[in-house]
A and B are shown apart, each in its own frame.
Chain A
Amino acid sequence: MTALAAMQLTLLVPLIGGLLIALCGRWPNLREAVTLVTAAVLFYLVIQVFTAVELGGSEAAALYVELLEILPGLTIALHSEPLSILFALVASGLWIVTSVYSIGYMRANREKRQTQFYVCFAVAIFGAMGVAFAANLLTLFLFYEVLTLSTYPLVAHKGDDKARAGARTYLGILLATSIGLFLPAMLWTYFVAGTLDFRVGGILEGKIGEVGATLLLLMFMFGVGKAAVMPIHRWLPAAMVAPTPVSALLHAVAVVKAGVFTIAKVVIYIFGTDFLLDVPHEVIAVYIAGFTIVAASILALRQTNIKRMLAYSTISQLSYIVLAVLVLTPLAGMGAIIHIVAHAVAKITLFFAAGAIYTASKKTEINQLDGIGFRMPVTMGAFAIAALSMIGVPPTGGFVSKWYMIAGAFQNNSYFVLAVLTLSTALNAAYFLPVIFRAYFRRESVAPPKPHGEAPAPMVAAICVTAALTLLVFFLNGPLVNFEQAVLGGP
């Protein structure tokens, strides 16, 4: 199979999978088998594309296919470059783990409408793959909306008033920002550049003034609501009403990473880092991202619900990536790219742990966690590893990305960025360490009505895998760094 065919199949496979899942709804075991097989096949296909790009040469250069020409100059096309493969690898790889986890979670909690859940999940992955391999802004936009629409039923899954209110905020903010800002920004880009293709070095250089470029950058930054830059962040805590596997894969990985991935693509392939360096007011965007990091961390401090705390932590961590991309130095860019992976594996672990705690003990609040480390040692151990990664302590992935970011900020002498990184590290520690402290160093005040141990085995297995990946990013980041070097074109 050629890499080109594999790339196109990455879109087809989740769709076919979704269809089969819908057809197998009556036989839960078969349905779950279909989910797992689809996820595995998808991951295999992404690996195929990855090897082709890694080897380089003619096949890598030809990884471009035009699916449809809507209008002259406006096409739906796919391509692969290191950044897209990274996102596709993260999303499809973690889909396998999440599927294993969901099977445990959905069955243990006896959730309703499980078939609909798995179908929407597959369609959301289809959207994520489309975002990853989009060769131009229009294609990216279309799949971005697919991702929004397909995740809405997942957010509203519970069907009660709270779920509906959350889903309303979710859909409302994401649709309004994308249609109100992202779409006009795209239109503007097309008018000045005459194309929407992602090209190395950008397409806007010399075609737009300084003020125009700043304005356009801000339109993209706020228009891509999935990146959750303040004040477009409220949808993310609202989305926490979803079942935990959804929060884990979609609202810690696929959806939010699609947001920062889009911003990275726009900065690198639409504006071009060299061009943005000449735009003095670009700093405004840096300040906004910096503000988001600190403000979201402070908000996270005040949360009492585990999932909401994790959501605010996600908002803060997403802006790390946005900030690092906007520092515009190669090292900071590398930091952003590694952080996409490091944050993905760590945050999914944290959500998995939160879901496992809920499944085993029905606990959702932080102050209920006293002594839980003794009842669920594996889960809380994984939670601790992931929390350390969030803070940026070695030997976890979060340390590597933060290291690159700090080095990148020094390249540019951006003391603002350094200050933000330092402050937020302290804040991260301030809201994660108390949780670990409660779990291990406090005694249970009241014994639970029903004594419990760990969550069901599939969930624990999934947690172990993602926690191991968090450590792996620290120890084995060399191939990743080498592979992504090409995106930034420099050391």
Chain B
Amino acid sequence: MIMDNLIALLVIIPLLAAPLCLLLPARWSWLLTTAVSWLVFGLTILMLYQVDSQGILSYHLGGWEPPWGIEYRVDALNALVALIVAGIGAVVIPYARLSVRAEVAADNSAGFYAAYLLALTGLLGITLTGDVFNLFVFLEISSLSSYILISQHRERRALVAAYQYLVMGTIGATFLLIGIGLLYGMTGTLNMADLAERLQEVEQTRTVYTGFAFIVVGASIKLALFPLHWWMPNAYTYAPSVVSAFLAATATKVAVYVLLRFLFTVFGVEFSFRSEFFQSALIFLSVAAVLVGSALAIVQINVKRLLAYSSVAQIGYMILGLALLNLLGLTAATLHLFNHALMKGALFLALGCIALRMGATEISQLRGMGKRMPITMAAFVIGGLSLIGVPGTAGFISKWYLALAAFERGWWPLILVIVVGSLLAVVYIWRVVEVAYFQESEDQSRCEAPLSMLIPTAVLALANIYFGLDTRLPLYLADSAAQLLLGSAP
């Protein structure tokens, strides 16, 4: 029974738990959220095993046959993204209890956890569904709940940040909806697999091209592709620490997944990349993202904002891998989805520990932290090394694949871009290390974060090292996903 309805349960459990959070006494809400997050993580692992043994899974919601009913369709790519979302969710939630107590008004905490569960529902839903309209619905669920989550920080600047995000997010979602509407108008179907087939007959029409453009731009806004990234730094900076960590590690990854899905599964490689202009435009934008994002990260004075700009750069690497259009490049892009979630998760959680103790995340606040919070700072350094791409960390693996992909194409300048991007990362990580380890603070007492926050931070930091040495799981999934994406071309 559970195994049969596994995929639906992944979405339904957090969806039903969200209102429960509001109904139960406030002190129960965290416990319930933890239980749900871990259950979902466990189910995701089960699903991973099923995908591995049975190949592509298809689930018909309510027993309605596709293409009429809504289909949930899981292959290696979704499974990997779902693993990222559920995994990060499970690690972050034990951390949330104290961090949320410090950063969110007490009477809002039940609402906070309800919104968190809805965000989880939305992100998992986007990942698992095989229906484009259903995807839009989940996108709205996750977006609306993340606006709420961001606005929950005690500081009122969070409201402005959430509002900015809301404006951009809504534009993005609307673009997607228009695109989806145009496709539906041309084909009369919303099922991805069905769309892929039917689009071939009408692909030369202007309507399909227009729909394609709307969808690409809409997804690019959601994934913060340069230069549509400007909502992100504010949103990440002013959100509660847990939310920054959760969204940075999952939301942009899911948006990249949406772009991958549309380009490769729905439209197909042949159609999407028929004009060389599109490919060069993507490469140009991703290179700009890497260079500009990293350069902007260097000049930030708030570490959270610094990391947000670094995310802009990292997303550039993912899109670069996608735009290279070879097996290695797509493997690099999907690997980086996974690895970037690990590194940004670790970094934002470490910052959350600092925010808890210092009340702010300006670089100057980190003075002397190497001595005062040694474990937290060690986690930050490991995350930073991974971000740079030092061998022995997860970040090295994806960059290595990306460089191999560029090399296979013979595009040397791109390898140079990767190297320069890594060097810029050295500079901005070094700025933090410099302050934390080489500047004294007046107060020298130790103030390490509480264990419930320290352990999740350490787990993600160590995961960066573990997956930098034992690459079998992410590599296997990323490789199968890349083969699937390229093989899906007619």
Contact = CB atoms under 8 A, between A and B. Distances in A.
A167 B439 CA distance: 12
B419 A184 contact: yes
Nearest to A71: B471
B439 to A, nearest CB: 8
A167 B438 contact: yes
B390 interface: yes
Nearest to A179: B426
Contacts of B403: 187, 191
Given A167-B438, A184-B419, A71 B400 contact: yes
B391 A138 contact: yes
Nearest to B427: A176
Nearest to B419: A184
B423 A179 contact: yes
A165 B437 CA distance: 11
Smallest CB-CB A-B distances: 4 pairs? A168-B438, A184-B419, A191-B407, A164-B438
A238 to B, nearest CB: 13
Nearest to A67: B469
A74 interface: yes
A142 B392 contact: yes
Given A71-B400, A138-B391, A191-B407, A175 B426 contact: yes
B438 A145 contact: no
Given A71-B400, A176-B430, 4 more contacts: A141-B391, A145-B391, A145-B392, A184-B419
Contacts of A191: 403-404, 407
Interface of A: 68, 70-71, 74, 76, 138, 141-142, 145, 161, 164-165, 167-168, 172, 175-176, 179-180, 183-184, 187, 191
Interface centre among A138, A165, A179 (most CB of B within 10 A): A179
Nearest to B388: A179
B426 A176 contact: yes
B422 interface: yes
Contacts of B391: 138, 141-142, 145, 183
B426 A71 contact: no
Nearest to A168: B438
Contact of A172 (B415, B430, B440, B475): B430
Interface in B401-423: 403-404, 407, 415, 419, 422-423
Contacts of A168: 434, 438
7 contacts: A142-B391, A168-B438, A179-B422, A183-B422, A187-B403, A187-B415, A187-B419
A164 B440 CA distance: 10
Interface in B447-474: 468-471
B114 interface: no
A179 B469 contact: no
A68 B397 CA distance: 14
A478 to B, nearest CB: 40
A172 to B, nearest CB: 7
B390 A179 contact: yes
B415 to A, nearest CB: 8
Contacts of B471: 70-71
Contact of B397 (A70, A165, A167, A184): A70
With a 10 A CB-CB cut-off, give which of B391, B397, B415, B440 has the most chain A CB atoms: B391
Contacts of B438: 164-165, 167-168
A187 B404 CA distance: 9
B395 to A, nearest CB: 12
B263 to A, nearest CB: 26
A145 B381 CA distance: 14
A167 B433 CA distance: 12
B390 A68 contact: no
Contacts of A71: 397, 400, 471, 475
Interface string B143-157: 000000000000000
Name which of A71, A141, A167, A180 has the most chain B CB atoms within 10 A of its CB: A71
Nearest to A76: B469
A183 B390 CA distance: 8
